[in-house]
Every structure is written in structure tokens, then in C-alpha cells.
Structure 1
Amino acid sequence: MFKIDEKALDIILDKMIDTVSNSKREIVEISEQSRQEFEILTAELLKTRLEVTETINKGEQLEAHVKLARKRLAEVSRNFTKYTEDEVRSAYEKAHALQMELAYIRQKEKMLIERRNDLELRLKRLEQTVKRAENLVSQISVILNYLSSDLQQVNEVLNDAREKQEFGLRIIEAQEDERKRLSREIHDGPAQMLANVMMRSELIERVSRERGMDEALKEIKDLRIMVRSALYEVRKIIYDLRPMALDDLGLIPTLKRYLSTTEEYNKIPIKFVNLGEEMRLPPRFEVALFRLVQEAVQNALKHADANEIQVKIELRKKSGKLIIKDNGKGFDPTNKKDGSFGIMGMKERIELLKGEITFDSGLGKGTMITIDVPLIVEDD
């Protein structure tokens, strides 16, 4: 028998909490710096806008003076015998001086407008950075609460030091994997799309000036599609973190919403059938069952090339059953390479719930996943 080494696990948990706390502080500092820069740039933008207005007004006034000076110069040139040499020279110098001043004002106006546009773009980016930082701080706060409370009770659940160490290491690895996955998804998805949206918006401005509003409207339609894709990716990432509707509405309504959104975006029919009762389950069951459906559907979309998916669920007082079926290219369940980490994760969730999962599939035959889970339904 191994002696329970509570100190070793406490050290691991303390290090995890310190790491997450430091990350939170760093993000808060980034957010505060961005907010301060936002305020400075906002003041500078207001000042620049006033200067642009003043410069435009001054340019219009100078343009009127230039017209008068040119008119005077033309009159003097036509009737130079009526005017003295000094008067002719004075008319020419005045017209030239006003023309040079007008050119300077127009150049200044152009530079100020470019500065104003640059400040507006930087402010939009800073605003996005502040919002992302605030969201990350909120998420990290949830993680800290979890680490500070639930994980501190692990000592009462684990039976020996080996299980504790493995559990702590698996949590650390899962956190790092989740960070990498989220970083990759944000970089390849919303971040890339938003960068394209920014460039496309600048293109629309040029198209409207050079080719007219009809061409610009076509570009706007394409831009709307890109924004819609970015919105879907953001919602998907939120769902991956934890769908808020799961806590508020329960498993069945959340599945309906998730499958409906997925169907709408991917343009693939997803049929959802609830054969049992629409009741609430303990949170760990709702989260696990939702993740199982999510993983199965994403596998069907990404790897199976399916064009039709069916999801059936039946919840009873003491048991729950899930069937996820697709008409994709299928795989060989006996081949571990085909199983990948997604299927391994599904099996691990089922083991934690003390349930059973079976994969009925073959190359070119589609896939049917059957899940049976014993439930402990809490009485109202």
C-alpha cells in the first residue's frame, strides 16, 4: 500500500494556482495599458478631428481668396497699360503667395485625414483587445475558483499518491492542450477572418470611390458572409469552453440550439429526436453528454465527410441513451489510428460516468455511436 502524499499534490495545486494567478495579473495589466492608450488616442482623435474641420474651413476660405486674386491678376494682365509695374507685380505675388498657402493647407488637410483614419483604426483594434482581455480575465477567474475550491477536495477522493500525481498531471496537460487548441482556433478562425474583414472594408471604400456603389454593394455582400463565418467560429469557441445555455436551460434545449446552429452553418441536415423526458440532470452528466454529442457531430463533419447526421436521445430516471449516426465514409474501429484522440476522449468520458459506448462503423458504411449511461436524477 502507498501512503497518501497530500503535500505533493498540494504543491502541484499551489503551483497551478500561482501560474493561473500570474497569467490573470498579466492579462489585467495588458487590459489596463490598452485602456489607458485607448483614452490617450481618443483625446488625440478628437483634437485631430477638430484640426481637420478647421483646416478644411481655412482651405475653403483660401480657395475663395485665390479665385479673387486670380481674377485680379487676369484683369491686370489684360489691361497692363492701365496699371503701374508695382501694381502688376503686387497682383502676381499676391496670387502666387495665396496659391502656395492653399497648396500647403491642402497637403496638411490630407495628412490630418490620414492621421484621423489611422487613429480610428487603432482605436477599434484597442477596443477589441480590451474586450478580449476582459473575457480572458473572466474565464481565468472561473478557473481560479475551480482550482481554489473543487481541486482542494481531491485529497478526500483519491486513495493513494500515484492516483493523485497522475490526476494532477492530467489536469495540467489538459489545460495546456486546451490553451493550444483555443489559441490555434482563434488564430486560424476569428482572428484571421477579422483581419480579412478589416482589409475587405478598406477595399469596399476604394471600390465605392472608383467603381461606384453597385460594385461596393457586391463587396458588402461578400463581407457579410465573412462576418457570419467569424460569428459562427466565435460561437463555436464559446460552446467549446462551456455553453451558457447548459446551466440555464438544461441538456435537451442546449442540444437543440447547438445542432440547429451547426446545421445552419454547415448546410448539412441534422435530425434531432428526443424520445424521453425533458428533465434536468446533475451538471456533470449534462456537460458530459453534451460534449459526447458535440465530439461525435464534429467528427462526422470534419473527418467523415457526412451529408446527413441523426442524433437521438432518451433520458429516463435511471438511465440515458444516445445514438449519433452519420452517412459518412466511416472507419475501421479496430484500427487505433482511425480512432484518434477524439474517440479516446469520448471513451474516457464514458468511463468516468460508468457507462458504455460502442462504435458501429466500416469503411464506406457510415458510423453509428451508441452510448448508455446510468443516471442519478436529482429530485426537485
Structure 2
Amino acid sequence: MKIKQINMKSIDEIREEMIETVTCSKSDIFRISEKCRQDYDNMTTELDNIKQMMVKLNDEGDQLEKQVHHARVMLSEVSMNIKKYSEEEVRDAYEKAHQLQMDLSINWQYKKQLLDKRDDLERRLFGLVDTIDRADQLISQISVVMNYLQSDLKQVGEVAKAKQDFGLKIIEAQEEERKRLSREIHDGPAQMLANVIVRSDLIERVYRDRGVEEAFLEIDSFKKMVRSALYEVRRIIYDLRPMALDDLGLVPTLRKYLRTIEEYHNHSKISFENIGLERRLPTKYEVALFRMIQESVQNALKHANACEIKVRLEITNSSISVLIKDNGVGFDITQKKPESFGMIGMRERVDLLDGEITFDSKIGKGTAVLIHVPLIN
């Protein structure tokens, strides 16, 4: 993208636009954080209700076990002295023992369902806490950016041109990130979490109206939905910025990320091979390379329906090479059509590092993405 020369008035206009954009981003992230907090409160209340029900069920179970024991003793007495009792008394003893045993079995099954539901809620609450913490960190970081943007830029002098290039890139990146984050949380975890309460009520109705087997089928479906929500939340956290990238570096973070993605897409095999040096890189390289590999893998899973993805990384003293190859549906690279935002973003990241990226794909033959970036010491 070419940027024309601008004057100081234009710089002020850009600064104001940046402030407005960052302010909107901060508001959106704040709303996301508040929505997560509301979901957290709702699930905490539901978890408390489950714990109260568990106490009640435990008390009922203790009473039932005593009654079952008494009924068994009575049944043993009737069996040993059957001639002393009438046919109706014998039948009543057997029926009462059988009914109490059935009630106790149902009590156990219901407690197991509640235990599973409690465990799922606790796992989701843990994920929400991570999302809320990350949102709070983002709000703090945006506040720092706002402080810089609102400072006096009138005396920029010789750095006006540098501010121009830097400012426009921040506007584009910030706006795109805001839209993507808002859209993904709204369409993904937010929708799934909204369905949690509805599905919980549905399971209770199915259990009452259709019996235990139908209820278990509904619970299996419910678990799949919760797992999907948990995966989406974790993926969004990785999209924001994987914490392991700062602590461990690119190679260990990629191993962990690709292993996690493979676990949640059990229909796809994702392999990772590092054939070069395993060392820390400057932050700009690690972040950019991780994002490009992440984008390629997500494209292969979501759009190419790939069942096998290979990621190969080679770090030398002078350059970095990455190959991401899948066996998905592919696409016709000769067909002229607007590039996806993902591909545009990858090209821009490579350009910022003075690197090169190529896409090799054929319909039905999969796709290969090759990235080469020189290391400047």
C-alpha cells in the first residue's frame, strides 16, 4: 500500500481517528469482559444450585440405603418363613424391595449426572476466568496506548513521516483486530454459552419425560457443545497472544499450540518438525511467524477440510524458513479473485520482516505455504 505525503493537519486528523478507533476497541473489549463476567455469575449460581441438589440427593440416598437394607432383611425373613406369610404379603415384600432398589439406582444415576454437569461447569468457569483476565490485560494495554495517542504530537518535526506510516498501520491493524475479536466471540463462545442454560433445562425435561437413556444422549450432545465452546475460548486466547510465546519462545509454543489444535480436531493429524536451531528470536519474528503459521493451519482446518497438516520449521543463523502443507481441497491459484483477509494479513506480516511468502495449491491436491524470512542481526 502506497501512502502519499501528508502535512501536520493530516497527522492531527489521523491521531484523532486513531484515538476514536482505540476508544471503540476498548469499549468492545470491555463489553466482552462484562458479558463473560455475567456468564461467570450465571454459571456460578447454577453451580451452587447443583451443589445444593447434591446435598439433597445424598441425604435421600442415605435414607434409601437404609430402607433398602430393611427391605432386604424383611425379604430374607419372608423367604425363610414363606409358609407363615400369605401370597399377597410375599408379593408385597418382593415388590417393595424391588421398588426401593430402583429408586436407589435412579438416585445414583442422577447424582452421577449432576457430578458430570458440575465438573463441566467448573472447567468452563476456569476458561472464563482466563478470558476475563486476558480482556482486563488488553484494556490496560489499550489505556497505555491511549495515553500515548493523547499526548502532544504537534512538535513531531523530522519524525512526521515515520509517525504517518506507523499511525496508519496501527489504525488498520487495530480496526481489523477489533472486528475479528468481536465477531469471533459473538459468533462462537457467546452463542454457545447462551445455549448452556437452555440445554441444561432441556436435559432435565428429557430426563423427566423420556427417561434416563434419552437424557444421557442429550448429555453427550451437551458435552460436545461445551467442548466446542472451551476450544473456541482457548483459540481466541491464543489469537490474542499466547503467553507461552513470551516465556518459552517460538518452537515450544508451536509444539504446544499444534498439539492442542490436533486434540480438538481429532479427525485431523497435525505434525510438527523443527529441523534447524531451537533458539529464541527477536519478539517481532516470533509473533509474526506464529501468527502466519496459526493462520495457515486454521485455513487448512476450516476452509480446506484437511485431515493431515504438516508444519516444518528451520531456523539458521541467517534466515527462517517455514513450510505448512495440507491435503485439503485446495484452490485454483490461477483464478483471479480478491484475496482473503487472512492471506492479505500474512503478506503484510512477511513484508514487515522483508521476507517472502508463496502459495502453491491445486484443486483436490492440497495447499503448501512457504515462508522465508532473513534474520537481521
Note whether the superposition's TM-score is higher than 0.5.
Answer: yes
Gaps of 5+ in 2: 53-126
Contact 2:134 2:237 in 1 (8 A): no
Deviation at 1:350, TM superposition (A): 0.9
Contact kept, 8 Å, 1:13 with 1:147, in 2: the verdict is no
Give, in whole Å, the separation in 2 of the partners of 1:157 and 1:359: 42
Return the offset for 1:341.
Answer: 2.4
Aligned residues: 292
| TM-score with structure 1 setting the length | 0.64
Task: Give 1:281-292 correspondences, 5 Å limit.
Answer: 281-292=281-292
The corresponding residue for 1:72 is: none
CA distance in 1, matches of 2:192, 2:296: 26
Tell me the equivalent position of 2:14.
Answer: 12
Note the residue ranges of structure 1 that are not aligned, 5 or more in a row.
50-127
Q: Aligned partners of 1:158, 1:363: CA distance in 2, in Å?
A: 51
Which residue number corresponds to residue 190 of structure 1? 189
The one-letter code matched in structure 2 to 1:345 is G
Secondary structure in structure 1 of the residue aligned to 2:337: helix
Letter in 2 for 1:287: V
| Structural RMSD (CA) | 4.2
Alignment-derived partner of residue 143 in structure 2:
144
Shift, 1:145, TM fit: 2.4
Structure 2: distance between partners of 1:332 and 1:197: 41
Q: 8 Å contact 2:274–2:314 — kept in the other structure?
A: yes
What's the offset of the Cα at 1:201?
A: 0.5
- CA-CA distance at 1:133 after TM superposition: 6.6
Q: What does residue range 1-380 of structure 1 map to in structure 2 within 5 Å?
A: 5=7, 8-9=10-11, 12-13=14-15, 16-17=18-19, 20=22, 24=26, 27=30, 135-146=134-145, 148=147, 161=161, 164-165=163-164, 167-266=166-265, 267-337=267-337, 339-376=339-376
The amino acid that maps onto 2:274 is N
- Which segment drifts farther, 327-336 or 286-295? 327-336
CA contact (8 A) 1:31 1:134 kept: no
Distance 1:157 1:297 in 2: 44
Q: C-alpha offsets along residues 278-332 of structure 1, whole Å, 9 cap, x if unaligned?
A: 2111111000000110111122122222221110001122211101111222223
Over residues 186-220 of structure 1, what are the superposed CA-to-partner deviations in whole Å (9 max), with x where a residue is unaligned?
12111111122221111112223333444323322
Q: 1:290 to 1:14 in 2, by over 3 A?
A: same
Native 8 Å contact 2:25 2:175 kept in 1: no
In the aligned structure 2, how far is the partner of 1:146 from the partner of 1:25? 14
In structure 2, the partner of 1:67 is none
How many Å separate the matches in 1 of 2:24 and 2:310?
45
Question: Structure 2: how far apart are the matches of 1:275 and 1:249?
Answer: 18
Residues 151, 237 of structure 1: alpha-carbon distance in 2 compared, 3 angstrom cutoff: farther
Q: For residue 199 of structure 2, what is the amino acid of its counterpart?
A: R
Distance, in Å, in 2 between the alignment partners of 1:319 and 1:153 is: 40
